[in-house]
């Protein structure tokens, strides 16, 4: 059974940092692109970042709203995905979901339960 | 960036109704269009990918169609469990983008 379990969310002051983790199991983690998607309270979905697989040189992509502040990374030996978030802003407040890109299509076929990040003074 | 505009943003319907949601892209996105369902307090669930391919386990009353820049999600006969918010997503270009969502509520 595919499982994605996020952790690391919490309350942080503006300008602060936080590191999110996503523990994956039940599939060959190293074969899949992995993404972070966020959802601000009462709002829609926003794609945040992507980490490609080793076969694609672990290349990364970012939304403009987080580029230069957030860093996505992965450790295939630990079946884990990370999101280092620096210089946090109040508008970064959201539930952050770890997602798996399907091997057969380009869609997000599995999502974690999410971890809430609150940026507030 | 590719903008996805969903309409309507809110829809009130009854059980058994046929429901259609539209997603318009600001430029062509080939076949890389997906639909997700999200119930309150729950995680988004993949319904359809590649415009019209039903994800495994999704009921056949859901269908997707379209091409170019205009796409639709149709629920042929709305069921009680279908009241939710629906999002389209394009995966053709970075940044990957979602539509603003369509909330389907009980009439």
**Span B40-81, pLDDT tens digits:** 999 999 999 999 999 999 999 999 999 999 999 999 999 999
Sign of the torsion formed by the C-alpha atoms of A82, A92, B2 and B64: positive
Partner-chain contact B43 A111, CB within 8 Å = yes
Mean pLDDT of chain A: 97
Q: Which of A34, A105, A113, A115 to mutate to test the interface with B (most CBs of B within 10 A)?
A: A105
Q: CA torsion B23→B27→B30→B36, rounded to 10°?
A: -30
**Span A77-107, pLDDT tens digits:** 999 999 999 999 999 999 999 999 998 778 9
Secondary structure element (H or E) that encloses residue A23, with its range: strand A18-25
Alpha carbon of B98: minimum distance to chain A alpha carbons (Å): 6
Q: Percentage of chain A surpassing pLDDT 70?
A: 100
Can you give the pLDDT at residue A68?
97
Partner-chain contact B44 A45, CB within 8 Å = yes
Give dist(CA B102, CA B6) in Å, integer: 7
Q: How many interface pairs between A and B have CB atoms less than 8 angstroms apart?
A: 58
Q: Please report residues of B whose CB lies closer than 8 A to that of A48.
A: none
Q: What is the mean pLDDT of residues B2-15?
A: 97
């Amino acid at each position: 059974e595919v499982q994605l379990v996020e952790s690391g969310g919490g309350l942080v002051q503006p300008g602060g940092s936080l590191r999110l983790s996503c523990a994956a199991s039940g599939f060959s983690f190293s074969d899949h692109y992995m993404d972070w998607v966020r959802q601000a309270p009462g709002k829609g979905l926003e794609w945040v970042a992507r980490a490609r697989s080793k076969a694609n040189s672990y290349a990364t992509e970012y939304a403009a709203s987080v580029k230069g502040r957030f860093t996505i990374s992965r450790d295939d030996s630990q079946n884990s995905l990370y999101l280092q978030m620096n210089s946090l802003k109040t508008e970064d407040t959201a539930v952050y979901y770890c997602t798996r890109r399907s091997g057969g299509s380009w869609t997000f076929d599995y999502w974690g339960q999410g971890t809430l990040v609150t940026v507030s003074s | 960036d590719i903008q996805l505009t969903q309409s309507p943003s809110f829809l009130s319907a009854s059980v058994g109704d046929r429901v259609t949601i539209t997603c318009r892209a600001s430029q062509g996105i080939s076949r890389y269009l997906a639909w997700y369902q999200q119930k309150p307090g729950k995680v988004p669930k993949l319904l359809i990918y590649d415009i019209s391919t039903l994800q495994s386990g999704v009921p056949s009353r859901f269908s997707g169609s379209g091409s170019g820049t205009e796409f639709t999600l149709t629920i042929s006969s709305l069921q009680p469990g279908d009241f939710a918010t629906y999002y389209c997503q394009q995966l053709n270009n970075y940044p990957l983008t979602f539509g603003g969502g369509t909330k389907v509520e009980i009439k």
